[in-house]
Amino acid sequence: MCINDEIFKLYPPSWLYVRRTLKEIILAAEKDGEEVSDGLYELHAIYLLPPQDGSSELASKCYKTFTYTVPPKSRSYLACQTDSKKFLEEDEQLVTLRVSSNMLEGGTGCSTWPAGLLLSEFVLSHPELFFGKNCLEVGAGTGMVGVLLARIGTGKIMLTDGSLATLANLKNNLSINNVEVEEAQQANSDLNTHSSTRVECRQLTWETLFDKERNLDCNVILGADLIYDPLNIPPLVNLLASLLPVGRPIRTNGLEQNVYEYPVAFIASAIRNPDTLVYFVETVRKAGLKMAEVGETMRPAICLTGISDLDRSTILIHKIQAWKD
Ligand SMILES: C[S@@+](CC[C@H](N)C(=O)[O-])C[C@H]1O[C@@H](n2cnc3c(N)ncnc32)[C@H](O)[C@@H]1O
């Protein structure tokens, strides 16, 4: 933790997080017999008191800054894609997110979730699946995946969530990370109109799909940590069953062929209750979609650094497609 870092000053983590981290550092140093500087003790003493600006140490909004590296294979791929040069400028890169430290404010979408972090690593590990594609994220939450898609250089990116509070926070996070967002369109406007800006945020509630949303122009659908509540599963699967069979003719040299490309969904899920996962798998199969876990060779590389508490082994990524063989 670099307390004098500009990022830290602009986007501070929660007071309690800093206090705990300083304590851990001091305890670890003392245990190893290292000399702890007076400055560190003094800083810890400051964080033992409530914040001086009068805000609560349990302030509901704070910032999390993630560092990540782009795996060498992804770098080589992206180096050939002119749009993505910026993505490769620095070895270690940052994503800063405003999050809620209190689930009651802003809903689940204002926190980061393990499956969202693993899906972020999947995007960084497999840019070839997303580059130049129109991507739709459902239940986009804090926008971590959206920021990375924008940096990779996908086609159009549509970030959606059912919660308006989450969407407001998501837009703020895109702005923090210099991702330009297209102004919100009217709820009943045509989602397939082309515009110069690539990133759009809009409310999309799985239970209330409009006809236009059944025909979204997307190549890839992404989602993370969406299947924690069994009640959410039928509407989510219904959404996938509406969008995945919508094929688009493949164009070569600007000419349409009689060959169609169908969208693919990548859904990352942390396994908390195995019955909920079984129910999800059954519902997907009953909807006539095919579903498989991404194979070992496709498992993401470890790209996010400094998050030792992320247990990647408990998170699955499923690839879901319409039966079109
Ligand atoms: C556990 S959070 C995961 C957020 C993000 N994908 C991540 O991994 O960090 C679940 C997200 O799904 C959204 N969500 C839940 N039910 C929904 C529904 N029926 N329609 C649309 N969005 C929904 C929530 O608002 C929330 O943002």
| Residue 238 resides in a domain | yes
Give the Å distance between the CA of 240 and the centre of ligand 1: 15
CATH number for the domain including 165? 3.40.50.150
Q: Check if 235 has its Cβ closer than 6 Å to any atom of ligand 1.
A: yes
Give the Å distance between the CA of 210 and the centre of ligand 1: 19
Residue with CA at minimum distance from ligand 1 atom 14:
139
194-249 residue pLDDT tens: 444 489 999 999 988 766 666 677 899 999 999 999 999 999 999 999 999 878 77
Element (H, E) at 236: helix 233-243
15-31 and 38-48 helices, crossing angle to 10°: 140
Selection from 186, 201, 195 nearest residue 149 by Cα? 201
Domains: count for the chain: 2
| Residue 53 resides in a domain | no
Q: Check if 207 has its Cβ closer than 6 Å to any atom of ligand 1.
A: yes
84-94 residue pLDDT tens: 566 666 667 89
Are 135 and 277 within one domain? yes
Residue with CA at minimum distance from ligand 1 atom 21:
162
| Residue 1 resides in a domain | no
Determine the atom of ligand 1 nearest the C-alpha atom of 226.
10
Are 77 and 30 within one domain? no
Are 223 and 263 within one domain? yes
The predicted pLDDT at position 1 comes to: 53
| Residue 299 resides in a domain | yes
Are 34 and 105 within one domain? no
| Residue 56 resides in a domain | no
The predicted pLDDT at position 319 comes to: 97
Q: Check if 141 has its Cβ closer than 6 Å to any atom of ligand 1.
A: yes
| Residue 54 resides in a domain | no
- Give the residue, out of 142, 169, 171, 225, with the most ligand 1 atoms within 8 A of its beta carbon, to mutate for a pocket test: 225
Are 65 and 20 within one domain? no
Give the Å distance between the CA of 199 and the centre of ligand 1: 19
Give the Å distance between the CA of 152 and the centre of ligand 1: 23
Are 160 and 272 within one domain? yes
Give the Å distance between the CA of 145 and the centre of ligand 1: 13
Are 169 and 278 within one domain? yes
Are 10 and 98 within one domain? no
Q: Check if 112 has its Cβ closer than 6 Å to any atom of ligand 1.
A: yes
3-state class (DSSP) for residue 94: strand
Give the Å distance between the CA of 253 and the centre of ligand 1: 39
The predicted pLDDT at position 178 comes to: 92
The predicted pLDDT at position 248 comes to: 78
Q: Which domain holds residue 286?
A: 61-322
Are 130 and 250 within one domain? yes
Q: Check if 166 has its Cβ closer than 6 Å to any atom of ligand 1.
A: yes
| Residue 316 resides in a domain | yes
The predicted pLDDT at position 278 comes to: 96
Q: Which residues of the chain have pLDDT under 50?
A: 186-191, 193-197
Are 188 and 278 within one domain? yes
| Residue 174 resides in a domain | yes
Residue with CA at minimum distance from ligand 1 atom 3:
225
Q: Which two tokens stand for residue 254?
A: 């600007």
Strands 289-293 and 315-322 come out as antiparallel
Are 155 and 267 within one domain? yes
Give the Å distance between the CA of 159 and the centre of ligand 1: 11
Are 115 and 263 within one domain? yes
Give the Å distance between the CA of 323 and the centre of ligand 1: 26
Element (H, E) at 320: strand 315-322
Q: Could you write out the three-class secondary structure of 264-307? A: EEEEEEECCCHHHHHHHHHHHHHCCEEEEECCHHHCCCCCEECC
The predicted pLDDT at position 196 comes to: 42
